[in-house]
Chain A
């Protein structure tokens, strides 16, 4: 029989949130972030009958430290939901099914929202500020402040929503932020990219400022070429080779 999960003491919630920041601390190719999920849920499991080290506690730890993967910023949804399911006495087969099933959605939604959306957007915002001449401390604070305001809020929301909804947390994945957010952030990134990349190039170019138009033209041709070759080659690896060759020529000629 399932019961409603009890409200978590503030201390437990704080411990879970802090541990969530280290959810990938033991990331490996066998269980991926599985150990991290057990590590993050553990403070809540101490509330199980029998307490820390009790039979139910040990069974839950054993269930949760197996294979698991998700975007780290959305892993809180799973951590909250699993804590809620364990404390409300959900049947173990349902918990196991949820543990397996939520990896895919939490990975793909989180990757699109954070890695392909929020991170480039914040990075481009910082590059634009740098290009406009903002001081070093301002650029770093702008970048870290903006990025972490978004991701810390996402982690906190995920943990709360997961615990509130329990194994019905799939409904939280339908939240407007997660459904429409990635496309909106991608558009913002596109706009910021158009502004930031030229400004950052000018900010770095220093003594070559007289040749700014040529630099832009060659960089644009390079960008189009790399975009057309997408997936077949990584530009930064090409750049390492090109820079090493340039250095070699400069030294030996």
Chain B
């Protein structure tokens, strides 16, 4: 257990930085699954496997765009968990992607709760600094900003570390008893991700004039590429 706690530290640091990117700084979208899970895979020595998990999670993430104060999964830390779990699983393990994606989605779900707690904590700090803020204290403004950023960094790191401490041993136990074959395991994940992505895209584009034709045109091009590549 102690060894595991130490080995996940680099991943927790990555989760901290990527968790920070989701909202606080710099929103460069290094926290999107296609990038974040690949980084985690690279840290485990298997970037290509990390990217496969990232591609599945990216399809899910198309449904949860970070509009304003809406609640959405915290993809940065969650993708580190998913990418690392899949990259670390034994090659040829039938249920590895299924377990990694499920663990990642659960982490993202819990991550959205931690974002709410973080925002409430900042509001409490701001209330405690109200006099200084309303009197125009630069130190109060800068201090609140730095506290918010630091707390978010810590939140992402702690979330990633905790999730990996739970899901790494759980993944090993589940995969040891896995009974479905590779094909049906992979197909289940891909069907769910494809369905969610397809529904999400329709939600985004259906109000735009002519977008349906562009979608159909894209499907024609995509189908052709499937045949020729």
**Which positions in A face B, CB cutoff 8 Å?**
21-22, 24-32, 35-36, 38-39, 42, 52-53, 57-62, 65, 69, 72-73, 107, 111, 115-116, 119-120, 122-124, 126-127, 130, 132-133, 135-137, 139-140, 143-144, 147-148, 151, 183, 186-208, 210-211, 214-216, 218-227, 229-230, 234-240, 242-244, 246-247, 249-251, 253
Contact = CB atoms under 8 A, between A and B. Distances in A.
B136 A243 contact: no
Nearest to B130: A30
Contact of B190 (A62, A135, A204): A204
A222 B194 contact: yes
10 contacts: A122-B29, A123-B61, A127-B55, A140-B39, A189-B205, A193-B198, A194-B221, A239-B196, A240-B109, A243-B189
Given A197-B194, A243-B189, A247-B95, A187 B120 contact: no
Contacts of A249: 180
Given A52-B138, A123-B34, A136-B50, 16 more contacts: A29-B69, A39-B142, A53-B138, A69-B69, A136-B38, A143-B35, A144-B28, A190-B218, A192-B218, A193-B205, A205-B187, A206-B182, A236-B196, A246-B98, A247-B95, A250-B178
Given A25-B149, A223-B199, A191 B218 contact: yes
B99 A127 contact: no
Contact of A243 (B102, B144, B182, B219): B102
A194 B204 CA distance: 13
B119 A29 contact: yes
Q: Say what secondary structure dominates the interface of chain B.
A: helix
A200 B47 CA distance: 17
Contact of B196 (A39, A187, A235): A235
Interface of B: 23-30, 32, 34-35, 38-39, 41-42, 47-48, 50-52, 55-56, 58-69, 73, 95, 97-99, 101-102, 105-106, 109, 119-120, 122-123, 126-127, 133-138, 141-142, 144-149, 152, 174, 177-206, 208-212, 214-223, 225-226, 229
